[in-house]
Amino acid sequence: MPTTTANGITIAYETAGDPKATPVLLVMGLGMQLTAWPDDFVDGLVDLGYYVIRFDNRDCGLSTKLTGAGAPNLKLALLKSVLRLPLRPAYSLADMAGDALAVMNALGVARAHVVGMSMGGMIAQIMAARHPQRVASLTSMMSSSGRRGLPGPTRAARAALLRPLPKARAGARAGAAARLAEQVRLVDHLVGVLRTIGSPAYPSPERPLRERLLAAVARNVCPHGVARQLMATIADGSRAALLAQIACPTLVIHGAADPLVPLACGVDTAKLVPGARLEIIEGMGHDLPGQLIERLLALIDTHARGKMAPDSLPRLFEKQ
C-alpha cells in the first residue's frame, strides 16, 4: 500500500479511478480504517467519473500509531470538558486535517471535493474553513459543530462507544487458530457496537457485516489509537466560529435516527455554514448501509457538480 511521510508520521492511502478525473477525498471517522468506506460507495464514485482518495487517519489502520502518547483517560477528559478545564490531547483535529492535506500533496492534488463522515466530517470542516483553496466542496455526513448545548449520544450509544474491546488472550507466538478465535471475539464486540449505532430502517445483513469486520480486524486493531482520536475530538470543542468562515458549497447529510450524533447536530452544522444545504435521511443511523449507497452517491455527485437546487428546507428521504 502506498504511503507518504508528513507531519512527523507515515500516512497510508489508496486511490481508485483515473488520476486525471475530478478528485474526491474521503475522510473516515473515529477508529475506522480507509476500508470502512464500502466498496460499492468507492466504485460508485469511480463510475460517476471521480478519482477517489482514501487514507488511514493517524493512530488507525496502517498509518503511524502514536504509542508514545499512551492511553488517555477519557472519563476524566469528558469531566474536564464539562467543567471547561484545559485538555492536552496527543494531537488535534487540525493536525489530522494536515494529514489529509499531506495525502493530497503526495498525489499532486491541488483541490478536491472533500467528504467526511462523523469525526471525518469535523476534520473536513476544518479543511474547508482553514484551507479554502484546497476544498472545492464540502460534504459533512453524520457530524457536528461541537457547539455546547447540542444533544449527545443516547445512553446505549455512549455505552457502546466507550465499552472496551475484549482483552487479548493470544500471545505473540499463538497459532493461527488462537489468533482467529481472538479476531472473532473482536468481531462479536464490533457487531454489537454497530448494531447499536446503525440504521434501524436499514440493518446490515449479518454475514457480510461480519466478513467486513473480520477483514478490518485482521488488517489492524489499535484501541489506544481510538482513544487518542476521541480525546482530540473532545478537545476540539466548538467549531461554530470556524463553520461561519466556510465559503465553498456545503452539503450536510444526516440520519434522522442517528443515536450517536443526533440529528440536531446536523441541523446545527447546516445553520452555521453560510448557504449550506441539509439533507435528512429517515431511518438512517450512524453508518453507511448498503441500501442507501445509491442515494448517497446521487446526493454527493449532484452537489459536487453544482447542480443541487437551492432549498431552504431539508428534503426528507422516506424508506422505500
Tens digit of pLDDT for each residue in 229-259? Answer: 999 999 999 999 999 999 999 999 999 999 9
200-224 average pLDDT score: 95
Q: Residue 54 forms beta bridges with which residues? A: 14, 26
**What are 141-179's pLDDT values in tens digits?**
999 999 999 999 999 999 988 888 777 665 556 677 777
Task: Report the sign of the C-alpha dihedral through residues 205, 210, 213, 215, in that order.
Answer: negative
Domains, the chain, ordered by start: 3-153+223-317 (3.40.50.1820)
Least confident of 152-161, 280-289, 292-301: 152-161
Task: Report the sign of the C-alpha dihedral through residues 98, 74, 220, 205, in that order.
Answer: negative
- 320 pLDDT more than 70: no
pTM: 0.93
